Structure 1
Amino acid sequence: MPALLEFEEAAMFSAEIQCMFLVTGATGGLGRRIVRQLREQNLPVRAFVRLNARYSELEQRGAEIFVGNLLNDRDIEKACRGVRVVISAHGANATGEGDAQSIDYRANIELIDQAKAQGAEHFVFTSVLGADRGYEDAPVFKAKREVEKYLQQQADGLGYTILRPSGFASNLLPLAERFRQTGIYLLIGEPQNRTSIVSTDDLARIAVASASLDAARNRVFNIGGPEALSRDQIPKIFGRIFNREPIIINPPLLLFDGLRGAVGLVSPSVSESLGTLRALLANEYLVTPAEVALLETTFGFQPESLEHFLRRCLGI
């Protein structure tokens, strides 16, 4: 009988290991939400975190904490052991270390190689809307696109889902809190440029579901919210939420370019990294109604509006 119990316990342990999820960027705005949703479904998840990150919430939710560095290949190899699904939710800005070359490109290539080598079944990659537009001066966009192409080449041995989200709604929460205090909103560049801002909780839900849906296997999804918002509509939404008239400060993109040029004289690498921000400020990031309908059909829910997301997260 004891031997039988040992066998059953070993089998249960093996089954748990086989369905293990690995989430990189687990303490970021997206990664933290992915871990929460996995644990709410009682799914085992290994959260890849840095030692100086705030990860106690993830641990309390039952996530396995893996402390490591995405710049270290050995750490990536160890983190991928026994993993069935990898969800890449990290980025150079979120990690606070490295750059687009090392974090957005090389670390993801190593993750893909290790996932495939260790028998993982699926890789969910968080790219960016517009990665395929060929922005030469935007390192993160270029890195994401090269990872997309590499991942698609591995489809014979590793299933994938590539998510190309527009701007994260959660990135606006600090701006909303600042607006609550001051009523001021800084809008650099063209106010009429539009974007389909995505609820970060919706994106996390899609990332988790992508691992088990046949309809999401080996697919690329452009992901955004239900509205095409001009950039000057965002402070108006803030104004409605906090019941105050927004004070919009709108410097031209030309001023940003001048400051970037001055920074380049002192630190060319920082100036280069600002190319990604410029691409974000200068262009529109929209999903079409057909793409929104595809998301609803594939993942079975209607996307959340920006105002609803903000009111929910701010408790208003």
Structure 2
Amino acid sequence: MFLVTGATGSLGRRIVRQLRDQGKSVRAFVRLTSNYEELEDRGAEIFIGDLKQDKDIAKACQGVKYIISSHGSGSNAQALDYRANIELIDCAKENQVEHFVFISVLGVDRGYQDSATFKAKREVEKYLMKSGLNYTILRPSGFANNLLPLAERFRETGIYLLIGDPQHRSSIVSTDDLATIAIASVETSAAKNRIFAVGGPNILTREDIPRIFARLFNKEPIIINPPLALFDGLRSGLGLINPQLQKSLGTLRTLLAHEFFCTAEEIALLEFTFNMQMESLESFLLRYLGSN
């Protein structure tokens, strides 16, 4: 039995789908307000709970062999990115879980202080490594599925909003590939007690993304490129009205201000360890959106 948290998120949903396609038992941790009907139809065991409630986590962990922590935090990094994962790790130990897969984030070890999410995930990594559990920590770059709505908007308008330095590099990862790796980690001996950077096979600059859209949809891109200083100004203005919102934008600001890409050596290690070829962003978009 796999326990998957964040089971209705973009990554968690894909993990549950793949597990069920492989005929494996999976318990999907979901909120009552989320859309989990598809997962239930696929044969997943639905566990309705709240990751901010320790008793719900304790119940969800009973009788599971593997845990894949794939939930996000929204605007509550303290409760969800940090506290819920610490409780999951403790309950995994109590229930003698055989392997714990934690979805972290690329760059988590760089000490970015403006992002509560980065700080929380790094502390969880350290706690997991000291826990005595068998683990795999995956540090993905940006998720390819996050670009789907941007691509659809580009197809309609030809407009692409690019905030910050167009030359900053990224390694957008196929969200389907990340799900495959998360599942395979529990049975891959070379992934035991290891940390992997996870990205796509190509290092892309930010301005490469609208060019990919342009090729897919045969449409000349109109790139709007406001400076990061404009975002900072808007964030500061919002902080006068809502200081909590200003803080919650710290992770987005971190992502906009820095590069997040995997080296060729990191991708080669990933492909060798999991015996797979990572999918390019262009291939991912073509699969989901086709072309014009």
Of 145, 152, 171, 2:122 maps to 145
User: 1:28 matched to which residue of 2?
Assistant: 9
5 Å matches for 1:160-309?
A: 160-309=135-284
- Per the normalisation by structure 2, the TM-score is 0.98
- Per the normalisation by structure 1, the TM-score is 0.91
SS in 1 for 2:52: coil
User: 1:9 matched to which residue of 2?
Assistant: none
SS in 1 for 2:142: coil
- Work out the CA distance in 1 between the residues paired with 2:149 and 2:35: 17
Aligned residue pair count: 291
Residue 315 of structure 1, CA deviation: 3.3
SS in 2 for 1:245: coil
Residue identity over aligned pairs, in percent, reads 68
User: 1:14 matched to which residue of 2?
Assistant: none
Residue 54 of structure 1, CA deviation: 0.9
- Work out the CA distance in 1 between the residues paired with 2:114 and 2:244: 12
Q: What are the superposed Cα offsets for residues 138-196 of structure 1, whole Å, 9 maximum, x if unpaired?
A: 111001000000000012xx110000000000110111111111111111000010001
User: Is the Cα contact below 8 Å between 2:67 and 2:99 reproduced in 1?
Assistant: yes
5 Å matches for 1:37-116?
A: 37-93=18-74, 99-116=76-93
- Work out the CA distance in 1 between the residues paired with 2:68 and 2:182: 7
Name stretches of at least 5 consecutive residues in structure 1 with no aligned partner.
1-19
Runs of 4 or more off by more than 2 Å in structure 1?
none
User: Is the Cα contact below 8 Å between 2:174 and 2:200 reproduced in 1?
Assistant: yes
> Which one has a bigger Cα radius of gyration?
1
Residue 199 of structure 1, CA deviation: 0.4
Could you say what the CA RMSD is over the residues aligned between the two structures, in angstroms? 0.8
User: 2:102 matched to which residue of 1?
Assistant: 125
- Work out the CA distance in 2 between the residues paired with 1:315 and 1:22: 33
User: Is the Cα contact below 8 Å between 2:216 and 2:290 reproduced in 1?
Assistant: no
